[in-house]
Structure 1
Amino acid sequence: MKGKWIEIKVVTSPSAIEMVSAIFYSLNVKGVVIEDPNDILEKQKTPGWDYVDMKLLEHGEKAAVIKGYFSDEDNVGNIIKYIEEKIDELKNEGFDLGEGRILVNAVYEEDWANSWKKYYKVTKVGQRLVIKPRWEKYVEKEGDIVIELDPGMAFGTGTHETTILCLELLEKYIKGGEVVYDIGTGSGILSIAAAKLGAEKVIGVDIDEVAVDAARENVEYNKVKNVEIRHGNLTDVLDDKADIIVANIIADIIIKMTSSAKKFLKDGGLFIISGIIQDRKMDVLNELGKNNFEIIEVKEMGEWIGIVAKNL
């Protein structure tokens, strides 16, 4: 089997998704997966999918699962202790973290890929976009824009509400000829979509080397020559200005990067963001206002928010 990863899961309440995700992001995490109650229910419907936490909803209570992935060489004991301490701090401050249970598991890339394949199917997004796993068959229809993906360990399949929000907003606002930056590119799905929707140049950026490798492979597979994937963060690897910056990340990181994003946007450029849970909507909107962004659109899907803001 290929690489081994340590998966640490926190079973929590939907309202605590942002806070628990932030704990993982404060560590040397290689990737974070967020499963809200709708994701869990959908997986439970899938024949043959052996979900280890089937008890999550047995009492009719909605739960969310936040998964963080770490290198096999990391000190897992210290990481778990740190997460436990942070969860206890939040509980002591009166936050509802639900069960707050921590589960640890070893994950191999081959097993990860096989588990995804059990329920990751062709998905139509917006008016024209079709997200197609490489191993699935699909008869292309007139007008379809097909994106073929193998997420590997890169966290980004196109089926989660936050990704769908970004894809639908890119489809709406890309008119052709734009320069697009995709921050936290993951599997590269948003970069590939932007290119296929008509962007002239796309740069996808991620601090995770695993994501960068997966994104580059997916870009090559989709034959989009005008997409470049770079390893690093926004301020380190970009030096020009874009017409559109898209970021599907959690609210805390979006808030921290808003002032930097403004510097890398042309006047009138668009900041398209998601990964924002309902409870953090106003925090993000307020930060955008402080940085002189005009809110163009706020789009909701399930527990999640997508925002389009114009750089004034």
Structure 2
Amino acid sequence: MSEWLEVTVEMFPYGLIPVGELLEDAGVSGYVIEDEEDFRRFLEENRQYWDYVDPELLEQKRGKCCLKFYVTGDGDGRALLSRVRRELALLPEKLEVDPGTLTVSWETVREEDWANNWKRYYKPLPVGRRLRIVPAWENTQPEEGRISVVLNPGLTFGTGMHPSTKLCLQFLEETVTGGERVLDLGCGSGILSIAALLLGAGTASAWDIDPKAPDVACENAGLNGIGRDRYSAFSGDVLKNPGLLGETDIKGYNIVLANIVADVILALSPRVEDWLADRGAFICSGIIDTRAHEVEAALTQNGFRWEKREMEGWAAYLVRKAE
């Protein structure tokens, strides 16, 4: 089993170019630059990984900049690391600008089956007042007063751990009264539409542009005793091709769910009314706090009233047509 060292050098942005040049001269073949803006952009553009990111990372990244590279864990790799550390210690006196602390840290990374390691951190999770998210591999007893939503999310979005998902589930608890038709856009693991059915909704249609998502969502529905007569999942972009929903289904959903990203919510805001039944509810989330004002402006412009909730730097909205 091979062993590598993941090395991190912390610095001010001014230090990125000289440190990068130093590494290249030392023989480091490649490196990755990370800063707060990169991390926020990653979160917005890679929704499928939201659940697998420690919620504290966003705060940890605030104002930080670092450069990461890898060396082998053998004698040659450790010798290269020692050389880099020596040359970094001498770098500040050669520069006219302050490169920052140039603090060097490293940790061992082994080539192993990491794809399943995250499961050890994914435990039963109470959400809101009535729900409890339970990993499919956990053998746990039901919790009195809570509805268990059993999930095996794989690497699709939707474990229930991300703040945006929690906010949607809270709104769902308060919105589902029984028998609703639900449209879940960007369904991922299917967690939201499955929870809606377990809360008492009648039927749900789930969509995602990720071709893996429908199989995952239907499998999760089955884990919760929900059959194909009540739950269906498909791959496609209904925003670009509304005809995918079928002419008879375009209008009449009591609840439309979209836990996606701000750009998609902005694009949905002028369209979602076409899919909502009278007095229907649009629950949207996945909106990082710095973009909430854009979503609010779009919802208002398209004639909606909304209730907003926030958690750990993310915003969600319960939206209805203004009367």
TM-score, normalization by structure 2: 0.67
Q: In the alignment, which of 48, 54, 59 is matched to residue 32 of structure 1?
A: 48
For the 8 Å contact 1:125–1:164, the answer to whether it is kept is: yes
| Contact 1:153–1:210 (CA under 8 A) maintained in structure 2 | no
What does residue 243 of structure 1 align with? 254
Contact kept? 2:35, 2:63, Cα under 8 Å: no
2:194 aligned residue:
192
Return the match for 1:287 from 278, 283, 298. Answer: 298
The alignment-based identity, stated in percent, is 37
* Other-structure match for 1:153: 155
Q: Give structure 2 stretches of 5+ with no counterpart.
A: 1-31, 66-108
Call closer, same or farther: CA 1:60–1:189 in 2, change over 3 Å: closer
Distance 1:140 1:281, change over 3 A: same
Aligned-pair distance for 1:251? 0.5
Alpha-carbon distance between aligned partners in 2 of 1:311 and 1:11, rounded to the nearest angstrom: 42
Residue 261 of structure 1 pairs with residue 300 of structure 2 = no
Q: Is the 8 A contact 1:248 1:273 kept in 2?
A: yes
Aligned-residue Cα RMSD (Å) equals 2.9
* Alignment equivalent of 2:308, drawn from 288, 298, 310: 298
Count of aligned pairs between the two proteins: 238
The answer as to whether partners of 1:265 and 1:311 remain within 8 angstroms in 2 is no
Equivalent residue letter for 1:275: G
Match of 2:234? 230
Alignment of 1:1-312 (within 5 A): 11-13=34-36, 19-21=41-43, 32-34=48-50, 39-40=55-56, 57=60, 111-112=114-115, 114-225=116-227, 226-234=230-238, 235-239=242-246, 240=249, 241-295=252-306, 297-312=307-322
- Asked if the contact 1:230–1:237 (Cα under 8 Å) also holds between the matched residues in 2, the reply is no
* C-alpha separation in 2, matches of 1:263 and 1:304: 27
Question: In 2, are the aligned partners of 1:187 and 1:218 still within 8 Å (CA)?
Answer: yes
TM-score normalised according to structure 1 size = 0.69
The structural deviation recorded for 1:39 is 2.1
Shift of 1:285: 0.7
Is contact 1:185–1:205 with CA below 8 Å preserved after alignment?
A: yes
Question: Judging changes above 3 Å, is the alpha-carbon distance between structure 1 residues 209 and 60 closer, same or farther for their aligned structure 2 residues?
Answer: closer
Whole-angstrom distance in 2 between the partners of 1:266 and 1:139: 38
